[in-house]
Structure 1
Amino acid sequence: MTITIEKKYIAIPINNHAVSKKLCFWEEAPDRELVMDFDCKLDAVKPQYVSYIDVSRYRGKTLICDSVPHMEFTLTQCDEKALDGLYREEYRPMVHFTPQIGWLNDPNGMICYHGVYHMFYQYNPCGTEWGNMHWGHAVSRDLLHWEEKDIALFPDEMGTMYSGSAIEDLGNVTGLGTGETGPMLLFYTAAGDRTLLSAGKCRTQCLAYSNDGGETFVKYRGNPILGKVESYNRDPKIVWVEEIGKYLMALYLAEDRYGLFTSENLLDWSLLQELRIANESECPDLYCFRLSGKSYWVLIGASDKYLVGVFKGGRFVPQTQERQLCYSPFNYAGQSFSGMQDGRVIRMTWEKLKMPCVRVPNQMSIPMEMKLRAGEMGCYLTAYPIAEISQLYADTQELVGQRLEAPIELPLERAAYDIRLITEYGAGMTLELFGHTLRIDTQENCVAFGKLRIPISGDRERVDIRVIADSCSLEVFADEGRFYATLYAVCDYNLPYLRLTAQENGTLLKTLTCHRLASIHGEVENV
C-alpha cells in the first residue's frame, strides 16, 4: 500500500495474541529506499487496541508499506491519540510511572536539567512486548507526577536505540552547545543488526544532543563516539570523576565484565581498565558518596550486585567484595539522575512484572534515595523511597506501642498504600495485604513471599519493614533500605484490609503506619 504522510501518527491495530509481522516502509523514490521497519502483532480483523507510531519526521513524503508475511490491512493517520479511559484501565498502576501505551523497560538518560527531571526509557511504541527499541521520554518537577513527551530517539541505519545515560555539558567541551546553558547530551548504544535497516551493523556507542532543554534531539554526525569493543558491548553510563579530572564511561562488555573508559571532551574515549562483578551483567551505574570526609564510588550492575571503591592512582580500586542490594528478579537496570543540585543520589529501576493491563505490561519503580552507610563488615548501600512520596499521603492510620494479643486488622480502600511496620526483634508474624501474605521470619532473618526471601536486618535489633503497595506490585524495604525487593502481586480489592498476626501473644508492635496514596494520575502538572 502507498500512504502520504500528512499527520503526526499512523494508527496500527494490534492484538497481543496475533502472530508477529514485520512492517516495512520505503520512501517512494527511484531506488525505493527503506526508511523504517519494525515488528508488531498487526491484526486487521479483531484488534485489541491501537498503537500510535510517530511519523512526523516523514511528513509530506509518500511511503510504500508492506508486511512480512504479506496480509491485507489499512493504516489511518491522526494528530492525537484516541485512548479512552487512559490511566483508569483495570490494573493500571496508580503511583508508578507507565507510558500511555506500549512496552517499557530500562530507565535511560536520567537527568535533572535546570529544575526539571527528565526520564528516558527503553520503549516499544508498536506493542506490549520487547523489541523495536526507541527512547521514550517523560518529565517531572517532583519525581512523582510525570508528563509523557514525544519519543526522543528513533531507530536508524546504525541500529535500534539501546540503553544509556545523560549529562549536561556544562563547559561545552563537545562544542555542540549554542546557548548560554550547556547542551543536554544523551549517550546510547546503537544496536545494529536488529532491523533490516541496520542489517550487518555491530553495536556501537553514540551521542545525541539538545539545545532546547530536551524538547528535540540531534544525533551527532560523528557517531559512533566509541566503536565496537566486544560483540555485545552496550549501556554507556557517563560521569565526571573529580579524582582523575576526566569524564568516565562505564560500559558493559560481556559475561560479567565492565570496561571503564575516559575522555576529556566526551567525544574521544580511551580504555582505562576492566572490572568484573561476579554473576552480573548489563546496565552499569556509577555514583559517588562522601563518607567520613572521603569520596567513595559505587559501581553497580543491572541485577543490583555492586562494588564500593575509590579512585586511586588514576584507577577504580574496589574496597569491598561484591554485595547484593535487591533480592528480587522483578527489579532490573536501575539508573541514577545526573545533575542533582541537592547532592542526593536518586535512582529508579525497571520493574518487569508482566502486568495484566492490556496497554502496558511493566512499570518504573518508586524513585529511591541511595545512601552509603558504614558497617562492621565495611560500607554498604541502601535504597529507600524518596521523601517526596509524602506529598501523596491522602489519609493515615497509625497504631503505636501495642502488645499483639490477637490479629490486628485495618480497613483499606481500592488505592495504593505506603505502610511501615516496626516491631521488636522477637517472634515472627504475618502481614496480609490485599490477599497477599508476607511472612516475617525472625528465625531465618527474612521476609518470605512464596519462594522469595528478603533479609530483614543487618544487626537483628528490630524489625523495620516498609511496603509500597500498588495495583500489581509490593515494593518491600527492610532495615531502612539495606535490603529490598519488588514483588509481583496483583492486589485483590475484594480483600480490602491489612491484617497483622504475631506468632506469639504479647509481641510488641512499636508502630504500624498506613498511608493511603493519592493517584499520580489525578492532576498532572504540565512541565
Structure 2
Amino acid sequence: MQSCRIELDTGTRLEFWAKVIENSDQPREFQIEKDGKILWAVDCFSQHPEYYSYHHRETCEVMVSWDPRTTEFTWAYSYVPETVAETGITIWTFGEQLSRMTGFEIDAWCSSDPARPKLHFSPIRNWMNDPNGLCIIGDTWHLFYQFHPAGTDWGPMHWGHASSKDLFHWTHLPVFLHPEQNLWRLGATGGAFSGNAFFDRDGSLKLYYTERLPAYDLFEGYREVQKIAVPGRGLVKAETITEILEKRPPGVQHDFRDPKVWWDDAADAFRMVLGASIDGCPAVLLYGSPDGISWNYIGPLYHAPAHFQECGARAVECPDFFPLEGRWALVMGFVGYTEPGTGRHNLLYALVGDFENDCFRPISDQLQLLDFGSDFYAMQSFRAGERQLAMAWVFNWETRKPGNSVYSGELALPREIGLDERNRLTMLPVSEFDAAYGSTVIPGRSSGAFALSGTPFEIRINGQLEGARVKATSGGSPAFDVSVEAGILSIILPQDNGSIHYRNDIATDSNLRIIHDAGIVEVFAEDGAVCGTRRNYQNIQPDEVTVISSGVVEVYERKSG
C-alpha cells in the first residue's frame, strides 16, 4: 500500500472511478483515516469500473492509502461544492505517489502536451463526444458534454461539465450526470446521451436528455427514453431526474433520442423535436406538452428523402430546430449515411423555412451541407442574447486519435450562426475568439512561404480565390493542403488515400479563412456559408505554410491574449 498525508477542507467531496487490476489479498484496497481511525474505505474493487464518492466532514489532516499494483483509478477529483464554480475540480492521480493539480496547474499540464490543440476545448483525460446543455447564466458560459470516465474510448455515457467567462478558457467541473445503472458491470453500453438546456418562463433551468437503457448491440434492439435533470445549487449535480417520455410512436424502433425543447409562443405550449427513423427512414419527430412533463406526439416534422435510407442512413440524430432572422432552421445529422460520389459519411445538413401550426415548410427541399469536411458533427446551438451560437464535436470515426493519448475528442471553435441573402445558414467563429486569442501578423508576401513558430495560425484570403492554394508542411512533410480549383474548394490531409473526397462548390470571388490548431483545420468561405472541418494526427505542428493566391493574403499567429 502507498500512503500520503494531505489536508482536506470541510465539505470536500472526493469522486472517482476505479477497477481492480488483479486479485489482491490486502484487507482494504483504499482507505482514508484520521489518527489511526478509518473514516472511509473500499474493501475490494470490482473487475468492472465503479463510481465512488466520499464526503469529508471537517477540516483536518488525513492519511490516504491505496495500492497501485491492484487498482486502476480511471478518473478521480475532489472539490468543495460551495467554491467549485470559482476554483474548479482538483485532479487526483494515484501512482507510486499521490499527485494533485487544480486551476492553472491543470491548464499548464494540458498545454504541455504538444499534440493537444490550444484553441479548442478538450477533456483533461478520457473520452469526450457531443456537446450538450449549452447555455449562458449571467456572465458564465456552461458546456456539458458526453464523457466516458473509464477510458479514452467510447463507453457508458456521462455528462462532463465545464464553465467559462469567454468561451475559450474553461474551468473543469464535476461530472454532472451518470447512467442510471452501472453499465460496465452489465457488459452493456448506453447511459446519459445528448440533450439541451432549457430556461423556463420563470427563469429556471432544466436539462432535457436521452437515457439509453442497457444496450448490447450498437445498431438495434436498444431502448431510449427521455428525461429531465433539474440542477441543484451551483449546477454541480442533478438534484432531481424525472423520466418524461418512454413510449415510441408507430414505426419508430430503437433510435429515439437527443431532445431539443423550446417554449412556442404561437402554440402557447412546450415543443420538442427528437431524432429517429420511421419505418427505417430518417426523420425528426415533433412533440407537444402543456407543462414540459407530459408529452404528446404531434407527428413527423421532417422525413428524409428515400436516397438517405438507400445510402445507409439509419436515423437522424442530434436534431436542432430554432428561429433565426424571421425564419426557422432545422439541423440534422444522418448517422450511417455515406454520400455517393465523395464517400463522406455521417454528414450534417440544414433546411431553412417557416414553422406555422406545428408544420415546417422549407423554402427549398435542397438540403444545405453544413460542413464539407465532415469532422463537425453533433452540433448544438443555443440562444445568447441576440445571437445564435453553436458548438460541435470534431470527430467522425474516420481517423482515430493515437493510442498513447490520455484523452480523445475536441470541440470545434464556437460559432455564430447567421442567415445570408440566399437563405443559407452561415457559421463563423464567435467574436470572443479575437479577444481570447490575439493575432500577430507573420511577415510575407501575397504569395509565397511563411515561416511558422508552432503556434496556432490563421490565413485569410480576400478577392479572387480561383487557383488559390494553401499548403502547410512540417519538415517538408505535408500537414494539410487547401485549394480552390475550377470552383471547387477542397481539403487534403496526409492520411487521405483518395477514397474519400472532402470538397464543396464555392464562389471564387469571395473570401477564405483557414484556422489551424495542432491538427484541427477549420475552413470558412463565402462569409461562413461554406465551412469545412477536418482532424489530422500527422505532422500537426507545421513549420511553414506556402500560400499561392492572386487575392489579398494575411497570415496570423494566434496566442492567448
TM range (shorter): 0.7 to 0.9
TM-superposition CA deviations, 1:217-261 (whole Å, max 9, x none) = 12334x234534432201111122333332211101224111011
- The answer to which of 315-324 and 134-143 deviates more is 315-324
In the alignment, which residue of structure 2 is the partner of 1:233?
256
Residue 244 of structure 2 is aligned with which of 216, 224, 231?
A: 224
Task: Classify 1:479/1:398 alpha carbon distance in 2 versus 1 (closer, same or farther; 3 Å).
Answer: farther
Comparing 322-331 with 145-154, greater Cα deviation is found at 322-331
Shift of 1:56: 1.8
1:8 aligned partner? 14
Whether 1:421 aligns to 2:461 is yes
Q: What SS does structure 1 have at the residue aligned with 2:435?
A: helix
Supply the distance in 2 between the matched residues of 1:395 and 1:305 (Cα, whole angstroms).
32
Worse-matched range after superposition: 387-396 or 124-133 = 387-396
Partner of 2:70: 73
C-alpha distance in structure 1 between counterparts of 2:138 and 2:114, whole Å = 36
- Correspondences of 1:462-481 after superposition (within 5 Å): 462=510, 464-481=511-528
- Closer, same or farther in 2 for the Cα pair 1:277/1:418, shift >3 Å? farther
Query: Is 2:368 the counterpart of 1:323?
Result: yes
TM-score for both structures, normalised by structure 1: 0.75
Contact 1:39 1:131 in 2 (8 A): no
Query: How far 1:410 moved relative to its partner?
Result: 1.4
Measured in 1, the distance between the counterparts of 2:215 and 2:111 equals 32
Q: Shift in Å at residue 426 of structure 1?
A: 4.0
Specify whether residues 269 and 393 from structure 1 end up closer, same or farther in structure 2 by C-alpha distance, changes over 3 A only.
Answer: same
Which residue among 279, 290, 294 is the counterpart of 1:264? 290
The residue aligned with 1:56 is 53
Query: How far apart are the structure 2 equivalents of 1:361 and 1:500?
Result: 31
Q: Secondary structure at the match of 2:92?
A: coil
Contact 1:184/1:213, CA 8 A, preserved across alignment? no
State the Cα RMSD in Å: 3.2
Contact 1:233 1:253 (C-alpha < 8 Å) held by counterparts = yes
Alpha-carbon distance in structure 1 between the residues aligned to 2:20 and 2:126? 11
Which consecutive unaligned segments of at least 5 residues does structure 1 have? 1-5, 19-35, 41-52, 61-71, 172-181, 503-507, 521-527
Report how far residue 114 of structure 1 moved.
2.5
Q: Deviations over 1:478-524 (max 9, x none)?
A: 2121111211223636741221135xxxxx332x222222259xxxx
Q: How far off its partner does 1:14 sit?
A: 10
Superposition deviation, residue 436 in structure 1? 2.4
* Separation in structure 1 between the aligned mates of residue 485 and residue 72 of structure 2, nearest angstrom: 59
Deviation at 1:472, TM superposition (A): 2.1
For residue 551 of structure 2, what is the amino acid of its counterpart?
L
- Measured against aligned partners, the alpha-carbon deviations of 1:314-364 in whole angstroms (never above 9, x if no partner) come to 3222222122111123221000124x12x1110000011633361112101
Does the Cα contact within 8 Å between 2:128 and 2:409 map onto a contact in 1?
yes
Q: In the alignment, which residue of structure 2 is the partner of 1:354?
A: 400
Pairwise CA distance, 1:289: 1.1
Measure the CA separation in 2 of the matches of 1:104 and 1:327.
22
Distance 1:225 1:57 in 2: 33
Supply the distance in 2 between the matched residues of 1:474 and 1:319 (Cα, whole angstroms): 32
CA distance in 1, matches of 2:420, 2:246: 35
| Matched ranges for 1:167-182 at <5 A | 167-171=198-202, 182=203
1:368-400 residue CA offsets vs partner (Å, 9 max, x unmatched)? 11111122xxx1111111111111344422679
Secondary structure class of the residue paired with 2:227: strand
Residue of structure 2 equivalent to 1:192: 213
* Contact kept? 1:10, 1:75, Cα under 8 Å: no
- Structure 2 counterpart of 1:32: none
CA contact (8 A) 1:392 1:517 kept: no
Provide the residue aligned with 2:332 in structure 1. 301
Shift of 1:119: 0.9
Aligned to 1:63: none
Compared with structure 1, are the counterparts of its residues 74 and 212 closer, same or farther at alpha carbon in structure 2 (3 Å cutoff)? Answer: closer
Structure 2 residue identity aligned to 1:126: A
Q: Distance in 2 between matches of 1:14 and 1:74?
A: 5
For 1:432, the aligned partner's letter is A
2:381 is the counterpart of 1:336: yes
Residues 71-122 of structure 1 show CA distances to partners (whole Å, capped at 9, x for unaligned) of x933678744237833422311111001111100011111112332111111
Following TM superposition, by how much is the alpha carbon of 1:439 offset from its aligned partner in structure 2, in angstroms? Answer: 4.1
Classify 1:513/1:78 alpha carbon distance in 2 versus 1 (closer, same or farther; 3 Å): closer
Q: Displacement, 1:8?
A: 1.7
Aligned CA distance change for structure 1 residues 78 and 383 (closer, same or farther; 3 Å) = closer
The DSSP-based 3-state class of the residue aligned with 1:93 is coil
The 1-side partners of 2:434 and 2:297 are apart by: 44
Q: Which residue of 2 aligns with 1:284?
A: 319
The answer for the alignment partner of 1:116 in structure 2 is 140
Partner of residue 43, structure 1: none
Work out whether residues 460 and 512 of structure 2, in 8 Å CA contact, stay in contact via their aligned partners in 1. Answer: yes
Whole-Å Cα distance in 1 between the matches of residues 321 and 226 of structure 2?
17
Selected match of 1:513 from 554, 558, 561 = 554
In 2, Cα distance between equivalents of 1:245 and 1:433: 57
Q: Which has the higher contact order (CA 8 A, sep 6+)?
A: 1
In 2, Cα distance between equivalents of 1:305 and 1:319:
15
Alignment-derived partner of residue 66 in structure 1: none
2:274 aligned with 1:251: yes
Distance 1:264 1:116, change over 3 A: farther
Residues 318/345 of structure 1: CA separation in 2 closer, same or farther (3 Å cut) = same
CA contact (8 A) 1:277 1:306 kept: no
The answer for the alignment partner of 1:88 in structure 2 is: 112
| Superposition deviation, residue 183 in structure 1 | 2.5
1:18-37, CA deviations, whole angstroms, 9 ceiling, x for partnerless residues?
Answer: 9xxxxxxxxxxxxxxxxx99
| Amino acid in the other structure paired with 1:365 | A
Identify which range, 93-102 or 149-158, moves more after superposition. 149-158
Q: SS at 2:235's partner residue?
A: coil
**Amino acid in the other structure paired with 1:170:** R
Helix, strand or coil at the partner of 1:107: strand
Whether the aligned pair in 2 keeps the contact of 1:185 and 1:208 (CA below 8 Å) is yes
Give the Cα separation in 1 of the matches to 2:46 and 2:263: 37
d(CA) in 1 for partners of 2:231 and 2:111? 30
Between 1:132-141 and 1:253-262, the stretch displaced more is 253-262
**CA–CA distance in structure 2, aligned partners of residues 14 and 397 of structure 1:** 53
Partner of 1:438: 481
| TM-superposed deviation, 1:425 | 4.0
Describe the shift of the 1:429–1:190 C-alpha distance in structure 2 as closer, same or farther (beyond 3 A).
closer
SS at match of 1:90: coil
Across the two proteins, how many residue pairs are aligned to each other? 438
TM score, norm. by length of structure 2: 0.71
Query: Among 447, 452, 455, which residue is 2:504 paired with?
Result: 455
The CA distance in 2 between the partners of 1:363 and 1:201, in whole Å, is 27
Q: Which residue of 2 aligns with 1:133?
A: 157
Say if 2:15 and 2:54, in contact at 8 Å, map to a contact too: no
Give the superposition deviation at 1:443. Answer: 1.1
Q: Distance between the aligned counterparts of 1:148 and 1:184, measured in 2?
A: 20
